[in-house]
């Protein structure tokens, strides 16, 4: 079983993934994906993390100049090479173990695989997202709203560019859940129940 989780910023998607991993005894991959790509391609992980799930060819031009061994497929952009490398890591993980993968277009990367549940976590209530983020980040309400909009825009651009689909479109996922309506705990229970049905 592999669960992929796309998520709006502030909707609780990462926390939900962590709780599911603990309760279902599955490995969670989020930043760990970036660490693997950094190790295998010998790129500074700080550079990768600063540009994670963002479409920025200018960064990859700099990275390629600094680390010339990185992904040498000449007819692809540097951004596309990085995406393909990350996708390969996702496919390798899905072949080896039960796991939960956060973001990185993993629902599309694994779309032809069996026993994959693709989830999108969102929150239609902006106040819900703002309050959640303000609990963890030392930002004002105004700056939190700005950060939420910025992060969601970057994720959408990254996803739409690399997949040709639409980030958050219900057709891209098996189940979409509004955490501002059902709550975090009930969202976890819903995903557990869906996975149990999928196993049958």
Average pLDDT rounded to a whole number, residues 79-96: 84
Query: Taking all residues of the chain, what is their mean pLDDT, rounded to a whole number?
Result: 84
Per-residue confidence (pLDDT) for residue 135, from 0 to 100: 86
pLDDT in tens, 158-187: 899 888 999 999 999 999 999 999 999 999
Burial of residue 98 (number of CB atoms within 10 Å: 0-12, 13-18, 19+): middle
Quick one: which of 51, 11, 16 has its CA closest to 31?
51
Instruction: Give pairs for 159-168: CB < 8 Å, separation 24+.
Output: 159/6, 159/105, 161/55, 162/55, 162/80, 162/83, 162/105, 162/108, 163/105, 163/108, 165/108, 167/6, 168/6, 168/8, 168/120, 168/122
**CATH level 3 topology of 2-199:** Rossmann fold (3.40.50)
| Confidence band for 62, pLDDT divided at 50, 70 and 90 | very low
Per DSSP, the three-state class of 101 is strand
Confidence of residue 82 (pLDDT cuts 50, 70, 90): confident
pLDDT of residue 37: 73
Is residue 105 predicted with pLDDT exceeding 50? yes
The pLDDT of residue 114 is: 86
Q: Which residues contact 200 (CB under 8 A, 6 or more apart)?
A: none
Q: Are 124 and 178 in contact (CB under 8 A)?
A: yes
Model confidence at 71, pLDDT cuts 50, 70, 90, reads: very low
Between these two residues, 20 and 157, which has the higher pLDDT value? Answer: 20
Q: Where are the domains of the chain?
A: 2-199
Closest by CA to 167, choosing from 179, 154, 182, 150, is: 154
Average pLDDT, integer, range 147-151: 94
């Amino acid at each position: 079983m592999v669960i992929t989780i796309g998520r709006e910023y502030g909707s609780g998607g990462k926390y939900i993934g962590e709780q599911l991993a603990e309760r279902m005894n599955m490995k969670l991959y989020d930043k760990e994906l970036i660490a693997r790509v950094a190790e295998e391609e010998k790129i500074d992980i700080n550079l990768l993390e600063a540009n994670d799930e963002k479409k920025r060819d200018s960064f990859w031009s700099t990275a390629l100049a600094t680390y010339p061994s990185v992904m040498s497929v000449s007819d692809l952009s540097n951004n596309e090479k990085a995406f393909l490398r990350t996708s390969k890591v996702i496919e390798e993980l899905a072949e080896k173990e039960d796991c939960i993968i956060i973001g990185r277009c993993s629902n599309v990367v694994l779309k032809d695989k069996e026993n994959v549940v693709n989830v999108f976590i969102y929150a239609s209530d902006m106040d819900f997202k703002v309050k959640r983020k303000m609990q963890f980040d030392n930002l004002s309400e105004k700056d939190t709203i700005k950060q939420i909009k910025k992060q969601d825009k970057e994720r959408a651009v990254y996803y739409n560019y690399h997949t040709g689909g639409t980030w958050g479109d219900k057709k891209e996922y098996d189940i979409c859940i509004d955490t501002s309506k059902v709550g975090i705990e009930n969202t976890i229970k819903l995903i557990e129940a869906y996975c149990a049905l999928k196993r049958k």
